[in-house]
């Protein structure tokens, strides 16, 4: 863009107005890549509501960057939300154990700037305005996630906005085989839990896990949460959640399922022809010879949807095996609902990671999270400054932030 054109350009950052901005915001979403900068790229394709990915959180907002001169055009956007999460734990005064330490954290989701208007400081203005809103809502921290190969985004947040590298979780993705269901192991019994039973389990067993949301009950009762499932040894008789929590079996596992396809859709573009051909061949063979149960590669080169698995956990020597059974069950649920992928995110050192089926080619070994302290006073108790705390073995990933 020429210097004279830059001088005439006027950019205003303001809150998103649905009737006025939907078409322009959707256009920016569609044109911006959201995935690895090398190889095939993932593109979002929102289903009508650009605010849908943060609307389910307690406090949310979407800002747009509008060029008002020389002509009106939406050239950037950002989404953000604020909630109370666990940032650490402290020892209980009586009876041992530990208690969760909560903080008010803000999450930046979906910073987008039109390719034709980058390197003009628009992304910086959007984040700064978002941080002002975070502070007005009492947020103590602001954090964001980006692909480790997205150098411009990383440098914007670390060099100019003073965020620091915080966590590097792993995104695991498994394709859904449309041709057949995956068999479940006979060694496990799967128990569907009601939202109230699931809440009790999560608060008793996961309440000190980093990023555990205080409003877990709202997540579990959300219409997009398709259920929580508990895996137990097939010889175990389930007598209710209280009985399970008071005397759990040696091994067990749990996970919940979130419907992402009703919020947004994705597609892979730029994949080589040979990969497309191999994927098509695998599907053709699977359709022709379904009894072979060939792991066919779904058609991810057009708009597709998926499920997100959250609240994964378990205990005991067979926990990985039981978690795998739950993931296979989620795969079959997704297959029946017309999904093409099942995905989840776990801490980099999650001990149960080996029990989660995934394809390495579709997954991301290192999702980069950066954080910044917004508050001046330290109200985190034993944690001190959360930005300097070491990572735990597990993290709780809020499905509303996918």
pLDDT value at 309 more than 80: yes
Digit-coded pLDDT (tens) for 11-48: 999 999 999 999 999 899 888 866 654 444 455 666 66
The span from the CA of 396 to the CA of 210, in Å, is 6
Where do the structural domains in the chain lie, given as residue ranges? Answer: 3-168+366-401, 172-355
| 170-175 sheet: strands from edge to edge | 170-175, 341-346, 306-315, 252-259, 225-233, 188-193
pLDDT range class, residue 379, cuts 50, 70, 90 = low
pLDDT value at 282 more than 70: no
- The SS3 assignment for 256 reads strand
Name the fold adopted by 172-355.
Aminopeptidase (3.40.630)
Eight-state DSSP code of residue 94: S
Q: Which of 26-30, 65-69, 379-383 has the lowest mean pLDDT?
A: 379-383
CATH code of the region 3-168+366-401: 3.40.630.30
Fold agreement (3-168+366-401, 172-355) = yes
Provide the total of helices (H) and of strands (E) in the chain, helices listed first: 9, 15
Q: Which long-range contacts (CB under 8 A, 24 or more apart) does 179-183 make?
A: 179/283, 179/286, 179/287, 179/290, 179/293, 179/294, 179/296, 180/286, 180/290, 180/293, 181/332, 181/335, 182/328, 182/331, 182/332, 183/328
pLDDT range class, residue 150, cuts 50, 70, 90 = confident
């Amino acid at each position: 863009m020429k210097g004279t054109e830059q001088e005439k350009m006027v950019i205003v950052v303001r809150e998103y107005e649905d009737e006025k901005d939907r078409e322009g915001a959707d256009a920016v979403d569609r044109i911006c890549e959201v995935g690895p900068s090398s190889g095939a790229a993932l593109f979002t394709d929102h289903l009508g509501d650009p605010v849908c990915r943060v609307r389910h959180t307690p406090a949310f907002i979407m800002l747009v960057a509008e060029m008002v001169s020389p002509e009106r055009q939406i050239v950037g956007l950002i989404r953000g939300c604020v909630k109370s999460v666990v940032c650490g734990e402290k020892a209980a005064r009586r009876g041992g154990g530990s208690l969760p330490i909560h903080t008010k954290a803000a999450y930046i989701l979906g910073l987008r700037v039109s390719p034709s208007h980058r390197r003009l400081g628009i992304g910086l203005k959007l984040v700064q305005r978002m941080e002002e809103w975070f502070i007005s809502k009492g947020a103590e921290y602001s954090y964001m996630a980006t692909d480790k190969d997205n150098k411009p985004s990383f440098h914007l947040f670390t060099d100019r906005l003073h965020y620091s590298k915080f966590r590097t979780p792993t995104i695991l993705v498994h394709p859904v085989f449309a041709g057949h269901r995956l068999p479940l192991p006979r060694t496990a019994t799967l128990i569907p839990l009601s939202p109230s039973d699931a809440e009790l389990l999560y608060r008793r067993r996961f309440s000190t896990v980093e990023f555990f949301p205080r409003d877990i009950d709202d997540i579990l009762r959300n219409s997009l949460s398709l259920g929580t499932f508990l895996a137990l040894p097939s010889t175990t008789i389930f007598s209710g959640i209280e009985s399970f929590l008071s005397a759990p079996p040696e091994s067990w596992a749990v996970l919940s399922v979130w419907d992402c396809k009703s919020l947004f859709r994705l597609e892979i573009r730029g994949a080589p022809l040979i990969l497309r051909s191999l994927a098509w061949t695998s599907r053709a063979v699977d359709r022709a010879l379904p009894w072979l149960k060939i792991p066919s590669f779904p058609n991810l080169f057009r708009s597709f949807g998926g499920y997100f698995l959250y609240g994964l956990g378990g205990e005991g020597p067979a926990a990985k095996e039981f978690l795998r059974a739950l993931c296979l069950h989620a795969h079959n649920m997704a297959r029946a609902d017309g999904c093409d992928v099942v995905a989840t995110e776990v801490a980099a050192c999650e001990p149960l990671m080996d029990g989660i089926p995934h394809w390495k080619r579709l997954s991301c070994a290192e999702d980069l999270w950066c954080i910044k302290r917004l508050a001046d006073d330290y109200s985190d108790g034993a944690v001190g400054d959360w930005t300097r705390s070491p990572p735990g073995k597990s993290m709780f990933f809020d499905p509303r932030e996918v």
